[in-house]
Amino acid sequence: MAERRPRRAAASNKTAIGPMARLSRRSLDETNGWHFPSSQRQSDDGTSENHALKRGSGKRRGTQRKGRQASPADLEKIAPYLDAGENRADRLIEYLHRIQDHLGHLPAHLLVALAERLRLSAAEVYEVASFYHHFDLVRDGEVPPPALTIRVCESISCGLAGAETLIDSLQQAVGDGVRIQRVPCVGRCDQAPVAVVGTKAVEGATVERVTTAVEQGDYSALPPTAARDYQGYRDAGGYRQLEALNASPDDEQIDRIIGILENARLRGLGGAGFPVGRKWRIVRDYPGPRLMAVNIDEGEPGTFKDRHYLERDPHRFLEGMLIAAAVVDVERIYIYLRDEYANARALLQRELTSLRQAPPCTLPPIELRRGAGAYICGEESAMIESIEGKRGMPRLRPPYIAEDGLFGRPTLEHNLESLYWVPEILDKGADWFAGAGRQGRHGLRSFSVSGRVRRPGVHLAPAGISVRELIDEHCGGMADGHRLKAYFPGGASGGILPAALNHLPLDFETLQDFGCFIGSAAVIVLSDQDSVRAQALNAMRFFASESCGKCTPCRIGTAKAAQLMARVQWDRPLLEELCQLMQDASICGLGQAAPNPLRCAMKYFPEEF
């Protein structure tokens, strides 16, 4: 039987102490021109020395370690997985990835050694390692998982394309030395169904394609061959806008750039839609040092546009990122990339190396950080917690991360697509972008379209286009033999609308009155051959699996709702009560938006009940 990823354990209400606790501004120290957190200050001999601070006390933890001690052999074994000369607690997840990649699992005795090297408690390391789905913890005496894992997406688009049948067939076709896991969206919905063999994605997966990859030992992801490299981007005039800013980085030039983005009405395209120019002004007005975090953890089922752009033209996004960093005057950039995008990671590593070798101007330090299979890290404060080496749990707000973000510093956060458009807008002018909308809307939107259409994929269209126009003008119409029944306008969390509302403009603030939102513009099209009730249950099971567990309304509400929705008869009054509780009392968007598909199913499709 295929293994389903375990649901996260309920989170403790107690706040972790030591370096895993939230770092404050007071913990920043000047070292070699950069501000290291106190958990990684350097000692007099130049090596990194961790000072674990107990939250609130300001006192250094005692030198006598309690509990299980690492053996000298394990301390020696852990050394190759660390960074030479500096053992940084904020890079804990990177170290865990290195162990997992090399051994195929995380042995408990090595986690003890890792904790000792980082001056953390073993519990602190364990709580982080056990939070993320892509880490396999193995206690002493336990049998490690098989050397090869095949992850089969079971989210909405892949479910429509036959993922369940594929999983059943693979269980019969592969041997005992292969583990099959059911996993949520892997960000390739236009090529559904998708299986990931090791780190290699098999698109349009069949039993034959998957078993061939297994037999050939073809498990590793390679950079996409169609991507434009650094030299190709430079030859086409790339980085021209960055060079112009660097040549005259005065206040007048900066105000001009922000003004262009404001007049273009460019908004954050990761889901929230906050105006980009206004965000730059807000963060720039806070005292430095300021940091920047780029969120490419697009885990919303149905969303794949950031991967689409990254795998084709990475330097266009990188130029936008560097322009933002220069305007806001940030001192370091962190790029957070979801772990499922192994091909994109290989590409980005290669192109960042090329950029550093022949930079168009002086570059700030850029760190590429790797997610570990946690949808919640798409939420900006949860991503920041993960970058700091902790569990990806959303922070209570205020303060907002623009004021108090990464390592306690003012932080500019954007998704990839928001930055992708910056160079072209500066080159072509604000009117070029703002004038593209329909029905009184402004700008362009990249729609990730999947489901029952002839041409799924990323389609660039005017803001305010309707789903009827999107399907007819960009997707080649409905798939043969299918008639439009319903659609998700904004991924699993964006709700479900009926075909009768196929005329609504798709943009920010246009769908709220109907119980939906556009979010990241992930449109999943359902037909008369699909059950809306079944897809709402698929979405709720996803939220139950991906809840971080920090707040009770989300942790318990999503699980209870999924149980009730699996019954033949839905207890609609009880489900509505659960929906209201999750919406009112959850601390972040996951729990607040989880009820949307359920409520829409009950409201717009009563015939299914």
User: Model pTM?
Assistant: 0.90
Nearest alpha-carbon partner for 598 in 538, 553, 536, 547: 536
Which residue shows structure tokens 């112009």?
Answer: 244
Distance, in Å, from the CA atom of 37 to the CA atom of 554, rounded to the nearest integer, reads 32
CB distance 516 to 600 below 8 Å: yes
449: which strand partners? 457, 523
Local structure of 540: helix, strand or coil:
helix
Domain ranges of the chain: 31-138, 148-216, 230-428, 444-608
pLDDT single digits (tens) 334-374: 999 999 999 999 999 999 999 999 999 999 999 999 999 99
pLDDT single digits (tens) 401-456: 999 999 999 999 999 999 999 999 999 999 999 999 999 999 999 999 999 999 99
pLDDT single digits (tens) 313-328: 999 999 999 999 999 9
**CATH assignment of 230-428?**
3.40.50.11540
Q: Reply yes or no: is the peptide bond before residue 553 cis, omega within 30 of 0.
A: no
Lowest mean pLDDT among 35-39, 488-492, 560-564: 35-39
CB distance 311 to 224 below 8 Å: yes
List strand residue ranges (DSSP E) for 381-519, in order.
411-415, 444-451, 457-462, 484-488, 497-498
Distance, in Å, from the CA atom of 24 to the CA atom of 487, rounded to the nearest integer, reads 44
Sign of the CA dihedral with 99 first, then 550, 180, and 452 last: negative
Give the model's confidence band at 251: pLDDT under 50 very low, under 70 low, under 90 confident, else very high: very high
Q: Does domain 444-608 have CATH number 3.40.50.300?
A: no
pLDDT for residue 42 is more than 60: no
Distance, in Å, from the CA atom of 50 to the CA atom of 52, rounded to the nearest integer, reads 6
pLDDT for residue 191 is more than 90: yes
- Give the tokens for residue 73: 């052999």
pLDDT for residue 285 is more than 70: yes
DSSP 163: H
Give the model's pLDDT for residue 2: 73
Angle among Cα 6, 10, 15 to the nearest 5 degrees reads: 135
Local structure of 373: helix, strand or coil:
coil
| β-strands 522-527, 484-488 pairing | antiparallel
Architecture of domain 148-216: 3-Layer(aba) Sandwich (3.40)
List strand residue ranges (DSSP E) for 392-474, in order.
411-415, 444-451, 457-462
Mean pLDDT along residues 451-475 = 98
- Give the tokens for residue 204: 């349009």
- Give the tokens for residue 167: 């999983």
Give the model's pLDDT for residue 125: 97
Give the model's pLDDT for residue 61: 46
Give the model's confidence band at 23: pLDDT under 50 very low, under 70 low, under 90 confident, else very high: very low
